[in-house]
Chains A and B, each alone.
Chain A
């Protein structure tokens, strides 16, 4: 215990001179951003880029909801509608959720583990630029023909015989570019986390967010090659005369579905586990309590990832397949509910008997289990394959998936934004706007998607540009109104961020009384992160440092920081 034997963690006289830690001389201005290999600047690039794509994807969603608000709507043409849902899904998954989590990881993993950068800074920069160019390729297709056969791009519909236009090819190139970006990022995080942790930071003392990023990276390496292979086969099918997915040439459309979902389901956990990690960081800080069941939460992350690789065919319960296969994938999908439930119960137990500081990051972090659980329950219902025969490809699935990805991932991402914005910018976000944003987003999410369960139960299929059943009218209207409330909530946060960048109150290095090492460095952190890397003695190193410094100083101080290196 740190309290038993005080150990020096701060430099006694003058800062040690570390060659590696010396600030790299980076060009000033925009050229600096263009050529940077600093994990923090790359992290900021990731976050800004992905939030821009989030706004684009959101606008696409609003257009779809406008089209569906009333029966027999003629706002957009069928092919435009198909392009909208294809771009929306593709953008949110490949250009927002996965890379925004990579952005947080980029910024925070080295700080949290006490490293000065990631293992391969230049590969890190390459990762970001591949992502950006991937996004440019996808959105450049808007000026020609956008891809319009769904983010799942099922063959043979995506084959040249049925969809000859280049939108599909743009999508294929886009998948390769962002896929390479994500894979390189994953390799970088694994190398960093395995090799560059501060002395004393054993696996059992690693922050839970870092745990989830490690597992996210392993899942990426296991899942992304499957889609890279699948889109390459689609490309050769379309242009070079192969017939991997074409039954008239001896191919099989189900091969595409297996390859796609072998990637596609782990992708869900790639998107949601780091958000869980953010919640596991935020809740204990704001409950002023250690995380409940650290080992259980870390182990359940590993369990979810392992099981997540074994459930892909639950997306294929309605294709011709034997009952044994159906039963296997139902059971494996059920099993995932257990480690997920463990996480939720541990979070609630973390809040229980705490001294909960109800600030904006806590709102979003506590909102995650509250909203995600709806998607979890509907997920278990969908895993019962005879029930899925009714509900597959209906709005019930749309509702399920949005509670998982919005209620889960996006609320986690917003919790992370409110929690770490002061660290990244040195400024606090406005509490009032933050809480307003939370309530608008939560109410908007519930209004938009709760009624979609009923739409699905009453028989409305997904991906239809038009409908005319009178019973669906109230649900569709409520859903559209809800989507605009949700958008207003997101807008409130965007305004908050833009306003607080210049006008927010000064944050100091540790505004929340954090537990992890990123709060030890000034906000924003210096280019070399840490002058001296502290020795880690528990899962809450910052708490140890704070306690120790207070003992040395003999008085209670609000917080402590590494001394800012004087310019020599």
Chain B
């Protein structure tokens, strides 16, 4: 190596690395579709899962650039400046203020970008489509910061209750309608969930349908999804809830609104009959032999 090489100022080197990093980020963005599966979160069932996926990818690409810059400069420095016979003596440098300020500002800028991107996507992830913004300064004025605006259009609210080790779903309506393990929902409908637990903390999570929401006894949690494709979407309880935590599975079956109405009618009838049978049995027992 010529002598001038390791006297090269540090600042241009860092600028070079940053420019290369930005070019790489652009390249990664272009190769976006190739990076699915094991490199990104599950998505495709509901729009909020898709938005989380996009947000993840943006952070991931920035992360890859940071990773390559750090590993590159670290490994290069160790290799280039390892002690060799006749090699240059160690430069007795104690610091460099502009450089110190430079990388502080660079790190802060990355954080600012991530914050901005998060708030851009937040409304679409948090609230069902068309519900109006309900974030820090949204157009809808709400009484409390955690109050959810009610979604317009076709929607269905389901009460989700976690119990060791099964999920119970209660549907609205005068006549009781509920089900365990499998939640049947109509397609193209905003499904809003009110989630709680009647024993320990559980966590509702169907990866394809967006993020998880803890079911905490004494609290009501909320999430939503909207499915356009019929099918079964599976998930597992995501908060340790006891020995059979791993077996506390959940499934969402999306069917057309017509078939959903049919299912609800049959299920209500089933529940009614079971209730009548139970009442008859109780009467018989009370009257006694």
Using CB atoms and an 8 Å cutoff, list the residues of chain A in contact with chain B.
78-79, 82, 148-150, 154, 156-157, 162, 247-248, 252-254, 287-296, 318-324, 327, 330-331, 334-335, 337-338, 341-342, 344-346, 348-349, 351-358, 366, 369-370, 373-374, 377-378, 380-381, 384-394, 454, 457-459, 461-467, 475
Contacts and interface: CB of A to CB of B under 8 A. Distances in A.
A357 B89 CA distance: 12
A355 to B, nearest CB: 4
Given A156-B201, A338-B108, A391 B41 contact: yes
B55 A387 contact: yes
Contacts of B247: 466
Contacts of B104: 338, 341-342
Contact of B49 (A154, A293, A381, A390): A390
Contacts of A351: 74, 77-78, 81
A142 B121 CA distance: 48
Nearest to A318: B214
B146 A322 contact: yes
Given A323-B135, A355-B88, A337 B107 contact: yes
A354 B240 CA distance: 49
A457 B83 contact: no
Contact of B201 (A157, A295, A345): A157
B42 A390 contact: yes
> What band does the interface of chain B fall in when counting residues whose beta carbon is under 8 Å from A?
35 or more
A286 to B, nearest CB: 9
Given A331-B115, A386-B211, A320 B242 contact: no
B67 A373 contact: yes
B136 A292 contact: no
B210 A390 contact: yes
Contacts of A154: 200-201, 239-240
A323 B246 contact: no
A156 B219 CA distance: 13
Given A387-B59, A394-B238, 14 more contacts: A162-B164, A337-B110, A349-B99, A353-B90, A355-B83, A358-B78, A370-B75, A381-B63, A386-B211, A389-B125, A390-B56, A393-B203, A461-B236, A475-B38
A156 to B, nearest CB: 5
B71 A334 contact: no
A189 B90 CA distance: 34
A348 B66 CA distance: 14
Interface string B63-101: 100110011011101100111000111111111100110
Given A384-B118, A392-B238, A254 B205 contact: no
Nearest to A152: B240
A393 B212 contact: yes
Contact of A320 (B134, B210, B214, B244): B214
Contacts of B63: 377-378, 380-381
A288 B90 contact: yes
A253 B108 contact: no
A374 B90 CA distance: 29
Interface of B: 6, 10, 37-42, 49, 51-52, 55-56, 59-60, 63, 66-67, 70-71, 73-75, 77-78, 81-83, 87-96, 99-100, 103-104, 107-108, 110-111, 114-115, 118-119, 121-122, 125-126, 134-136, 144-146, 164, 199-201, 203, 205, 207, 210-214, 216-222, 235-247
B212 A318 contact: yes
Given A79-B243, A150-B240, A320 B111 contact: no
Contacts of A459: 42, 207, 235-236
Contacts of B10: 349, 352
A334 B118 CA distance: 12
Contacts of A330: 115, 118
Contacts of A349: 10, 93, 96, 99
A386 B91 contact: no
B246 A387 contact: no
Contact of A323 (B115, B126, B207): B126
Contacts of B59: 380-381, 384, 387
Contact of B70 (A320, A348, A391, A463): A348
Contact of B56 (A290, A296, A381): A381
A29 to B, nearest CB: 44
A463 B245 contact: yes
30 contacts: A82-B245, A154-B239, A162-B200, A248-B217, A318-B238, A319-B221, A320-B216, A320-B220, A331-B115, A335-B111, A341-B103, A346-B100, A351-B77, A352-B77, A353-B88, A355-B87, A355-B88, A355-B90, A358-B82, A370-B71, A377-B66, A390-B210, A392-B212, A454-B38, A457-B39, A461-B205, A462-B240, A464-B245, A467-B246, A475-B38
A341 B108 CA distance: 10
Contacts of A248: 217
Nearest to B125: A386
Given A154-B239, A157-B242, A348-B74, A389 B214 contact: no
Nearest to A362: B78
Contacts of B74: 348, 351, 366, 369-370
A351 B71 CA distance: 13
A349 B118 CA distance: 32
